[in-house]
Chain A
Amino acid sequence: MTRYVMVIDTLTCIGCGDCVIACKTENKVPAGLNRDWVVEETQGRYPNLSTEFRSERCNHCAHATCVTACPTGASHYWRDSNIVLVDPNLCTGCKACIAGCPYNARLIMHPQGYIDKCTFCVHRVERGLDPACVSTCPTHCMYFGVLDEPNSIVSRLLRTRKYKTLMPETGNDPNVYYLV
């Protein structure tokens, strides 16, 4: 299996939302919906504070509960990888995947009646490009690549920097990493 991962450096992320707009325009996401979003988390008391910004999206889990939960096979892995896609032709809009996703209902209903989500911009990845969010980020805080390749930028970053994933305890094996 090819393991595509996204690595996001929270130390340089400024929470500007460029990734959100870039995704929306690139993927023609309908008005009012988003496939990615930004979270701000502040801890401490004035003036001893820390604030972390995180650009979040589908984690393209290696053990994706949404794929298991899908009764029609619409939620599936792209080729032999961890990229989770939804086939609109097979999706009935039953929302089992939404219930099954531990990342708090992060899938959205497309007005056309199917579940829509981040695709890691697979149409770009196929052409050797980074996802739209990664290639537009003005702080260059986002990285994309194949974890199985030891010299990829993502492998090097995860070897040399401290990182976390969101809710690893679910066993879903998420593939969006946050450098901290």
Chain B
Amino acid sequence: MDRREFIKLAGTLAGGAVVGPALLNGCSTAPPPPGSGEVKTTPTICDICFWKCAALVHTEDGRPWKVTGHPEDLHSGGRLCTRGTGGLGAYLDRDRLKRPLLRVDKGGKQRFEPVSWDEALGFIAQRMQAIAEKHGPDRMALFSHGASGAHFRHLLRAYGCESFAEASFAQCRGPREVAFYLTFGETLGGQDRTDMAHSRCIVLLGYHLGENLHNAQVQTFAQAMRNGATIITVDPRFSVAASKSTHWLAIKPGTDLALLLTWINVIISEGLYDKSYVQQHTQGFEQLAAHVRTHTPEWAYLETGIDPNRIYTTAREMAKAAPATLVHPGRHVSWYGDDTQRERAIAILNALLGSWGCKGGFYNPETVALPKYPLPPYPKPASTWEAAHAGRYPMAYTGVTNALIEHSIGPDAHYRAWIVSGTNLPLSVPGIGKSLQQAADSLDLIVAVDIIPSEVTGYADVILPECTYLERYDDLRNAPERRPSLALRMPAFEPKYDSKPGWWICRELGLRLGLKKYFPWKDYTEVLDWQLKQVGSSLQEMQRLGVKNFPRQTPLYLVEGQGIEYPTLSGKIELYSTELKELGFDPLPRYTAPVRAPAGHLRLIYGRAPAHTFGRTSNNPMLFELMPENILWVHPLVAAEQGLKSGDYVRLKNQDGVTSLPIRVRVTERIRPDSVFMAHGFGHTSRNLRLTYGVGANDASLLTHIKTDPIMGATGMRSNFVTLGKMEA
């Protein structure tokens, strides 16, 4: 018998329920049709996630109406995703930070008091001066995520500091960037350079595209589906992408590298690889062939649980569609502590299929040659983020969040102060509950810059309310794309409350720190206008256009027969990594079996939901309504054994005894019986986030078993296990 699970996903609050006053007489007047008033549009760049879609903000009779994709924009194709469409919610959120707050001690009790900007900034500048004098300006760290980070990096570089970390590196994309850099000499970059619209075969490993809503990724993936591309999804969960796939390989968690090495072996041993591409562009083929020889589908079956015939079939299908086969590097890939090596196997597989630089694989992105605003050179900092790595993670090209936090603990800690901009450390960095408190106890200064009172603001000495992307200018968007393109973010509204743009905060701090020569302008529009005039445009033109696309200067794809020197050590695509060899790491990816679950435990898998960008949006009233809480996916066998049904609430307890807030159970066939799944970004403990406070569970708090990637410091977060404790009604 088939089981049918029927769920109303979105719009759960309506559900045909009759709410509101039922008036007896028809006494209402018809509202005017939307858009019949005076409509104005202002260009912006969405900041609800980090894909940076260009958009238009519509107001009607001066009131906020809607945000839509910019029709000329390649990032969005004129269509925003769920979160971007709900972007106004960030502006309208009544829980936003409203004025600067300073931690004060009143009769032995600490609390935040509203202060003027002058007082807040004066306090910060004074502390920063003192730190610079006593320890040196390099002893500060910046955690940032999003457009404002650029302003703070500029301020700190001018001050003499270069210890920067973003969760988007060690907790997210870092391993794939490093792996592709090692293999092809180039990173993938924020916009992925995948050519899915032309792919004839797409392979997704644990990449739940569709639940992950990076805009152009989803659009081109849908285009591939319409084109009839073969889609192969490897996931312990029947993800949305899996439900769209030709082949769903319900892999045993943690064994992806075994499957990848086996695919490589089949493709080599059956002679299915692109021989001329491999010969012309790569080095290390012989070593690779020897290395993977023992990885047969029959061997892989024991590791991965995937039927050997399906491994053969999928490998052959990949080869058949090559070079228009994209083995997708994924986005959030810090899973098991050997993530760079797994991503290396993905890069190698793409190289064997000849898809790097080819139509349907990876295109060559281009940016506009946009000059930087002329400023004096920065002082050379006495130390950088590398100090925190202490010789570890040689391939990291930016700070590893956890390492910087570690080096902020204790009386002799390297770091004396933090600026935390739009990065909610307790929800985004795994298992740092205790170390965050220890760092807060040790540091001389923590400045939190945010839009909402996220948990991290509770650790700050000073909280600075930044205005939302809809109320400010930021740097021009000049992201690598199919066509070079510039986009402008400009304010659609005046900043609400007493919030301020990041550029203003940094300039004011800069002036107070005696760094005026780095802030010679009064308003950021001067910087933007100067830059735009260097490329034949102007701020005035961009305020009108929003997006300006430029002609390409180089070919989009590899030109047949044209020799290329790749920016790797050998000048070739490195199947065998000479760089890793020199650093003492495996030059070819080596599989190690994953950590087994302790008895009675389920593997905790987490991921994204299309309605939210992690905890950044869980209090956005529009998106909250669409998805108010995260839900725990539990297989029916597990549910039966534990007496759970859909709608019950459970607390999760991990292998180290950490317990979560209650989370609602969804009994579903869409998850393996050895795992549970939840969306990331819930379980807020900040009472000032009134909508989302105490709702759902925070996966990051349960991730106390971290396997760190020795190559670049990524925190492997998929080696945590939980038991379920039912909440009595």
Do residues B218 and A139 form an inter-chain contact, with CB atoms below 8 A? yes
Do residues A46 and B6 form an inter-chain contact, with CB atoms below 8 A? no
B-contacting 9-mer, from A8-16, A145-153, A164-172: A8-16
Residues of A within 8 Å of B248, CB to CB, are 47, 49
Do residues B250 and A47 form an inter-chain contact, with CB atoms below 8 A? yes
Q: Nearest CB to that of B4 among chain A residues?
A: A43
Which residues of A34-86 are within 8 A (CB) of B? 34, 36-47, 49-51, 53, 72, 74
CB of A19 to closest CB in B, whole Å: 8
Residues of A within 8 Å of B611, CB to CB, are 16-17
CB of B518 to closest CB in A, whole Å: 40
Which residues of B1-29 are within 8 A (CB) of A? 2-29
Contact with A113, one of B2, B20, B85 (Cβ below 8 angstroms):
B20
Contact with B28, one of A46, A88, A105 (Cβ below 8 angstroms):
A88
CB of A129 to closest CB in B, whole Å: 10
Do residues A40 and B9 form an inter-chain contact, with CB atoms below 8 A? yes
Does B82 touch A at the CB level, under 8 Å? yes
Residues of B within 8 Å of A28, CB to CB, are 31, 34, 65
Chain A positions 91 through 109: 1 when the CB is less than 8 Å from some CB of chain B, otherwise 0: 1110100100000111111
A-contacting 9-mer, from B165-173, B554-562, B569-577, B618-626: B618-626
Q: Please report the C-alpha to C-alpha distance between residue A16 and residue B668 in the assembled complex, in whole angstroms.
A: 19
Known: A51-B238, A93-B22, A107-B16. A38 touches B670 (CB 8 A): no
Contact with A17, one of B9, B225, B243, B635 (Cβ below 8 angstroms):
B9
Does A128 touch B at the CB level, under 8 Å? no
Q: Nearest CB to that of B25 among chain A residues?
A: A92
Q: Nearest CB to that of B222 among chain A residues?
A: A139
Which residues of A111-139 are within 8 A (CB) of B? 111-114, 122-124, 132, 135-139
How many pairs of A and B residues are in contact by the CB < 8 Å rule?
A: 235
Does B724 touch A at the CB level, under 8 Å? no
Does B66 touch A at the CB level, under 8 Å? yes
CB of A154 to closest CB in B, whole Å: 16
Q: Please report the C-alpha to C-alpha distance between residue A141 and residue B226 in the assembled complex, in whole angstroms.
A: 9
CB of A122 to closest CB in B, whole Å: 8
Do residues A72 and B85 form an inter-chain contact, with CB atoms below 8 A? no
Known: A17-B610, A27-B34, A123-B34. A33 touches B19 (CB 8 A): yes
Does A89 touch B at the CB level, under 8 Å? yes
Does B371 touch A at the CB level, under 8 Å? no
Known: A21-B86, A26-B34, A139-B222. A37 touches B26 (CB 8 A): no
Known: A26-B66, A39-B6, A113-B27. A16 touches B22 (CB 8 A): no
Do residues A123 and B6 form an inter-chain contact, with CB atoms below 8 A? no
Which residues of B55-80 are within 8 A (CB) of A? 65-69, 79-80
Do residues A41 and B28 form an inter-chain contact, with CB atoms below 8 A? no
Do residues B85 and A22 form an inter-chain contact, with CB atoms below 8 A? yes
Known: A44-B669, A113-B21, A140-B222. A14 touches B34 (CB 8 A): no
Do residues B225 and A12 form an inter-chain contact, with CB atoms below 8 A? yes
Do residues B243 and A51 form an inter-chain contact, with CB atoms below 8 A? yes
Q: Please report the C-alpha to C-alpha distance between residue A46 and residue B237 in the assembled complex, in whole angstroms.
A: 10
Do residues A74 and B26 form an inter-chain contact, with CB atoms below 8 A? yes
Do residues A42 and B14 form an inter-chain contact, with CB atoms below 8 A? no
Q: Please report the C-alpha to C-alpha distance between residue A47 and residue B69 in the assembled complex, in whole angstroms.
A: 38
Do residues A113 and B213 form an inter-chain contact, with CB atoms below 8 A? no
Residues of A within 8 Å of B22, CB to CB, are 93, 95, 109, 113
Known: A16-B610, A25-B88. A49 touches B243 (CB 8 A): yes
CB of B29 to closest CB in A, whole Å: 6
Do residues A88 and B670 form an inter-chain contact, with CB atoms below 8 A? no
Does A110 touch B at the CB level, under 8 Å? yes
- Chain B CB within 10 Å, residue with most, of A21, A22, A53, A95: A21
- Which of A's residues lie within 8 Å of B, judged by CB? 11-12, 14-18, 20-22, 24-28, 31-34, 36-47, 49-51, 53, 72, 74, 87-93, 95, 98, 104-114, 122-124, 132, 135-141
Interchain Cβ contacts under 8 Å between A and B, 27 examples: A14-B211, A16-B611, A17-B611, A18-B82, A21-B82, A25-B66, A31-B625, A33-B19, A34-B11, A38-B10, A42-B238, A46-B238, A47-B250, A91-B28, A92-B24, A92-B26, A95-B22, A108-B17, A111-B20, A113-B27, A123-B34, A136-B68, A138-B79, A138-B222, A139-B218, A139-B219, A140-B226
Beyond A16-B213, A18-B81, A21-B626, 18 additional pairs, beta carbon < 8 A: A15-B610, A24-B622, A25-B622, A27-B34, A31-B625, A37-B8, A38-B8, A41-B7, A43-B4, A45-B669, A46-B672, A50-B243, A53-B240, A92-B23, A93-B24, A114-B28, A138-B82, A139-B219
- Which of B's residues lie within 8 Å of A, judged by CB? 2-31, 33-36, 65-69, 79-82, 85-86, 88, 210-211, 213, 215, 218-219, 221-223, 225-226, 238, 240, 243-244, 248, 250, 610-611, 621-623, 625-627, 635, 668-673
- A-B residue pairs, 3 tightest by C-beta: A37-B11, A113-B23, A105-B16
